[in-house]
Structure 1
């Protein structure tokens, strides 16, 4: 079994995937693990929507309609499975941004788990996520927002294993400034 550290280090986005896709049972198994992200007050302010087959065509129509175009956008057809990531806001002392962070954490964790299971994944966002017609196509409630989609498919057999440049952690980690309390 791969360590979490190794899984994160080798993760990459797969912008081109094959027509193979994980089963619903496999998705449910991985979501049960991904849902273990840090979640203040255990609100579980998220849900996921599977889009397969004709669902992707309906999304393509909604995207084009949002743009004032006819027909079907080809964007949702780039992977056999799309997983819509939805934040479902709960009435709570937990602020909305923190609930969005939980939903984003679930999506990222799921993308790591899918990658480790051998699936190609990339996360697509954009202006469409805030479109009323796209929200309606997903059946979103009044207290929900679409954060984006995980596009999932098979990893191409001879895909170039591009390496992402390592993060220079020193540029992103600092210490709290040493100021006296009276100076604040």
Structure 2
């Protein structure tokens, strides 16, 4: 698939199953992340791969964090759903921003660089025929999840990228009118 086709048609794919991306597909997805815009070449991102039994361990971390956040008021159904979240896909990529002090690159820009890396991975996954979607939510900002994943004090979770084989063909990207989002400012 050529780059413009992937960029113009990429959509998130929520229903994912085995198998996970192959080693070659992963390499292509990972290389795409490393081309994100990156002021001062800080490379303010890193990624954890969670698969196999690691997904169940991550589910345990999610459950512990959710119980603490909710004051242990979760119903049994909520407990089971929270614990099963990482089982939605055979591979989860945890995107992490490593915040660094830099006189010309504020933390916000470092977060945006990580977001650019995630978007590049999503587009590369689409081009490879891999289903993928990006999730954040309260667990991404939960200190117990960060601790359970071994994050340093200067690291923040940018999101969980779920990857796998699409359960069905991806939906068609919506046809948006470019002129509703782009306009000229000043003289042209």
Q: Which runs of 5+ in 1 are unaligned?
A: 179-184
Distance 2:22 2:3 in 1: 23
**Of the candidates 122, 127, 130, which is equivalent to residue 116 of structure 1?**
127
Residue 24 to residue 138, structure 1, CA distance change in 2 (3 Å): farther
Indicate yes or no: 2:180 matched with 1:164: no
- Tell me the TM-score normalized by structure 2: 0.86
Q: Which has the higher contact order (CA 8 A, sep 6+)?
A: 2
- 1:106-147 CA-partner distances (Å, limit 9, x unpaired): 011011111111111011110101111110121100100001
Asked whether the 8 Å contact 2:47–2:94 carries over to 1, the reply is yes
Name the counterpart of 1:85.
Answer: 95
Indicate yes or no: 2:142 matched with 1:125: no
- Tell me the TM-score normalized by structure 1: 0.87
Name the counterpart of 1:66.
Answer: 65
Name the counterpart of 1:182.
Answer: none
Distance 1:153 1:33 in 2: 17
Q: CA deviation at 1:162?
A: 2.3
